[in-house]
Structure 1
Amino acid sequence: MQSSATPATATDLRPAIQSARNDTTAGAGMRNMQQLIQLRWIAIVGQLATIVFVHSVLGIGLPLAMMLSVAGCLALFNLGSQLFWRARTDAGDLALLLALLVDVAALTAQLHLSGGITNPFVFLYLLQVTLGAVLLPAWAGWVVVAAGCAGVLALVACPGPVRIDAEPALGIADHYVQGLLLCFLLTAVLAALFIGRIARILRDRDARLADLRQQAVEEEHIVRMGLLASGAAHELGTPLAILSVLLGDWRRMAPFEGHPELQQDLDEMQTQLQRCKSIVTGILLSAGDARGEAPAQTSLAAFLDEVVEAWSATRPVNRLDYHLHLDEDIQIVSDSGLRQMIDNILDNALEASPDWVGLEAWRVGPDGQSLRLQVSDAGPGFSAQALADFGKPYNSSKGRPGGGLGLFLSLNVARSFGGRLHAANRSPRGAEVVLELPLSSLALDARAPAPQP
Structure 2
Amino acid sequence: MEAGPISLLFGIESRLLRIETLTRLRWLALFGQLTTVLGVAFGFGFQLPLRWCLAVIGASVALNVIVELFFRKHLRIDDRMGTLLLSFDVIQLSFLLFFVGGLDNPFSILLLAPVTIASVSLRSYQIVAIVGLVALSASLLSVFHWPLPWYSEQSFLLPQLYRFGLWAALLVAAAFIGAYAAQVAQEARSLNLALTAAELALERQNHLSRLDGLAAAAAHELGTPLATIALVSRELSRAKLPDDFHDDVELLNEQAQRCRVILGRLSSLASEEHPQLDNLKLSYWIETLVSPFRKNPVSIEIRRSNSENEPVIASNPALTYGIGNFIENGVDFARNKVIIGCYWTKESITISISDDGPGFPNEILMQIGEPYLKTKSNRRLKTGSVSGLGLGIFIAKTLLERTGAELSFSNNSGSGAIIEVTWDRKRLELNT
- What's the TM-score once normalised by structure 1's chain length? 0.41
Greater share of helix = 1
- What's the TM-score once normalised by structure 2's chain length? 0.43
